[in-house]
Amino acid sequence: MNKFVVAAGTLMLSAWAWMGLSTAAENAVKLPAPAFDLPKGTESARETAVFAGGCFWGVQAVFQHTQGVLNAVSGYAGGQQATAHYDSVGTGRTGHAESVQISYDPKQISYGKLLQVYFSVAHDPTQLNRQGPDSGTQYRSAVFYTSPSQKEVAERYVAQLDAAKLFHGKIVTQLAPLTAFYPAEAYHQDYATLNPGSPYIARFDLPKIANLKSVMPEVYLDKPVLVSSQTAR
């Protein structure tokens, strides 16, 4: 995702289709729940998860439509504060990944269930340093865990999915401790909801929300939880 892609609109979308580029949104995979998970309600009243999987617009939108999510913020993780802004991250040389910080109620949804949404609907975990038309380390698949228990759930789930061979390739998702999360610029927040007519959003992100409703209806939330609604309180 970059300014050129957004501005190019329909012409660039036609070029992508001609080249046969696939997207995670078109290839959602129905996955089993994690065999090992943190029981609901055993954590605090509010927990945090941080996932990266391509352009943060679509990942944010998916989790804004997930029941039990209290807030989902687009931002950057994996690099330093000095380079945590869009123009620098876009070079692919900062160590950052476009990420989404998810605040959730563990009494309503478990960390493992969030991982199930992430691997099934939010992105394609077999693509290395790219998602659809977006390429570079800033678009890598990554789980930034915030605790040893999150690390264990993520490690076991990746092993479970690889063993089940439900994807067309091996999962390449990076598992790394979260050192810091930096919110992205205000214009990136709620982008998919605020710009449904954007050719990029229509082509790559709205299908992810539709797939969430189709593949995991038990967690689908029709009205998204927006960052703007949180700051308005």
Q: Which residues are catalytic?
A: 55
Q: Do 74 and 191 meet the contact criterion of CB atoms below 8 Å apart?
A: yes
Cα–Cα distance for residue pair 138/52, rounded to 1 Å:
9
Max Cα separation, the chain? 50
Q: Do 49 and 178 meet the contact criterion of CB atoms below 8 Å apart?
A: no
Q: b/e string for 51-73 if b means 16 or more Cβ within 10 A?
A: bbbbbbbbbbbbbbbbbbbebbb
30 beta partners? none
Contacts for 221 with CB less than 8 Å, ≥ 6 apart: 64, 65, 66, 67, 69
**Helices within the chain (DSSP H only):** 3-19, 56-64, 86-89, 111-117, 148-164, 191-194, 199-200, 206-215, 227-231
